[in-house]
Amino acid sequence: MSVDSTALRDRAGRLQTEFWRYAQATRPPENPVYEHDLSFPYGAQLMAARLGYKIFPFTAENIREKVSRTDCPEPSHALITKWWAGEGRSCPIGAALGPSNVTVVEIADVHDMEAFINLARWEEFLGPLPRTRIAKTPKGYQIHMRGLTCAPDDSLGIGLQLKSLYRAVLLPGSNLGEGGAYRWLRVGDLKDAPDWILDRRVSQRENDGASK
């Protein structure tokens, strides 16, 4: 893929500004799910569950089990209360992407122009990613989309991470202390990931093998 470097850098700058503007908004665009009072106990977890994520307390012990599955228990209010009670109250909120049927493109660092150049290059030639559900991470952004892929994490190039089947991400409501917090910037309905993201779709064999 070749394109005029000046035009590409200009487009990357516009992308960087676009995401910066999302981050400056006082709250995400109106969405019924967002009406949860996030200061209410387990409010962020309940919101994530209502948005369709298969969540779990993000600990080293849980990660391997959760991301290797293609099914997870429905995160009911009772289960959320049980998981995050007591010492687990401050535990980050993990989402198993396979069971959630979600793919996430992470922009690792808001200041990394190379990441935005890579994103601009992909979108210029193959089409834009949906912008209906975006989260702010401590250093970057997450773009959430419907669908799954087996593509490697680093398949989009420098500064971008592609996370999908057999992967997990932290969700808004997670606070890493000095490491920073996660928050929603846009919480609209999930849109399908474009075909150029889902070019390696999940086969039935992979589903069967993961559930054993």
For the segment 50-107, what is each residue's pLDDT rounded down to a tens digit?
899 999 888 766 666 566 565 667 788 888 888 888 667 778 999 999 999 999 999 9
pLDDT digits (tens, 9 = 90+) for 9-42: 999 999 999 999 999 886 665 555 555 555 566 8
Q: What is the reported pLDDT for 14?
A: 96
Residues 176 and 96: their CA atoms lie apart, in Å, by: 19
Strands 183-187 and 102-107, how do they pair?
unpaired
* Mean residue pLDDT across the chain: 83
Residues 64 and 96 sit within 8 Å (Cβ to Cβ): no
Question: Rounded CA gap, 113 and 117, in Å?
Answer: 6
Residue 124 CA to its chain's centroid (Å):
22
Q: What is the mean pLDDT of residues 143-161?
A: 92
Summarised one tens digit per residue, pLDDT across range 27-36 is 665 555 555 5
- Pick the more confident residue, 152 or 135: 135
Cα separation of 146 and 49, whole Å?
15
Edge-to-edge strands, sheet with 93-96: 55-57, 93-96, 168-170
Mapping DSSP to helix (H, G, I), strand (E, B) and coil, where does residue 126 land? helix
Rounded to whole angstroms, the Cα distance separating 55 from 205 reads 25
Q: Could you tell me which residue, 74 or 173, shows the higher pLDDT?
A: 173
